[in-house]
Amino acid sequence: MSRIGKMPIAVPAGVDVKIDGSAVTVKGPKGSLTGSYDPAIAIALENGEIKVTRPDDTARNRALHGLTRTLIANMVHGVHDGFKKDLEIVGIGYRAALQGKDLVLNVGYSHQVVMTPPEGVSVEVKDPNHFTILGSDKQTVGQFAAEVRGVRPPEPYKGKGIKYADEVIRRKEGKAGKGGK
């Protein structure tokens, strides 16, 4: 049995879960998420816990068992607590700002880069070099953070660019000047 798949998912107070066959809808204070999963995997709500079970030990069902449990656990966590990604901008003159709901980045190009967050995702700018991407859907938050980072990924020589707050950039030494005559 899958170590992850067999663990029950505790449903916190204030979170409403509806299971309709292989479709799961989770509503909470941070929003509502819906997911549809493989019909071979059984999903049941018992005593305030969601349990995910598989019919047999075929390789496909073993793989789907842990995946389905993790995706549902992420939905429950997202509508109750939410997900966030902290990003940092490194570089002289590089900065971020909010313009309405849009994120405006000045990262060394001849123009500003304006990025509109997807539905259910918001951006908080703490100071010009630090900002946070927030939302209830883990995949959407992570995808938007990756798109923002992709505007100017950190380079290995000076470390300039947009990076995750906990990311460590491996630095290169660069060219050494030619020895004196």
Topology given in CATH for the domain delimited by 9-80? Outer Surface Protein A; domain 3 (3.90.930)
Average pLDDT of the residues in 41-51: 93
Share above pLDDT 90 across residues of the chain, in percent, rounded to a whole number:
88
Model pLDDT, residue 1? 62
Integer Cα distance of 146 and 1 in angstroms? 34
Of 13-17, 23-27, 81-85, 172-176, which range is least confident? 172-176
Alpha-helical (H) ranges within 81-137 are none
Length reported for the chain: 181
**Tens digits of per-residue pLDDT, 119-159?**
999 999 999 999 999 999 999 999 999 999 999 999 999 98
State which amino acid sits at residue 97: A
| Helix axes 138-151 and 59-80, enclosed angle (nearest 10) | 80
Model pLDDT, residue 35? 95
Which among 129, 164, 136, 140 is positioned nearest to 150, based on CA atoms? 164
Q: How confident is the model at residue 165 (pLDDT cuts 50, 70, 90)?
A: very high
Q: What's the burial of 170, exposed, middle or buried (CB within 10 Å: 0-12/13-18/19+)?
A: exposed
Contact assessment for residue 65 and residue 5, using Cβ atoms and an 8 Å cutoff: yes
Structure tokens given for 84:
């966030």
Average pLDDT of the residues in 17-39: 94
Q: Say what the pTM is.
A: 0.89
Structure tokens given for 167:
């990311």
Model pLDDT, residue 19? 94
User: Residue 175: is its pLDDT beyond 90?
Assistant: no
Q: Which CATH number, 3.90.930.12, 1.25.50.20, 3.40.1350.10, 3.40.30.10, labels domain 83-164?
A: 3.90.930.12
Strand pairing partners for 106? Answer: 95
Strand pairing partners for 104? Answer: 97, 114
User: Residue 176: is its pLDDT beyond 80?
Assistant: no
Average pLDDT of the residues in 36-64: 93
Model pLDDT, residue 44? 94
Model pLDDT, residue 181? 55
Integer Cα distance of 102 and 49 in angstroms? 38
Secondary structure class of 56 (helix, strand, coil)? coil
CATH 3.90.930.12 spans which residues of the chain? 9-80, 83-164
| Residue 4 phi, psi (nearest 5) | -80, -45
Model pLDDT, residue 179? 61
Model pLDDT, residue 174? 83
User: Residue 180: is its pLDDT beyond 70?
Assistant: no
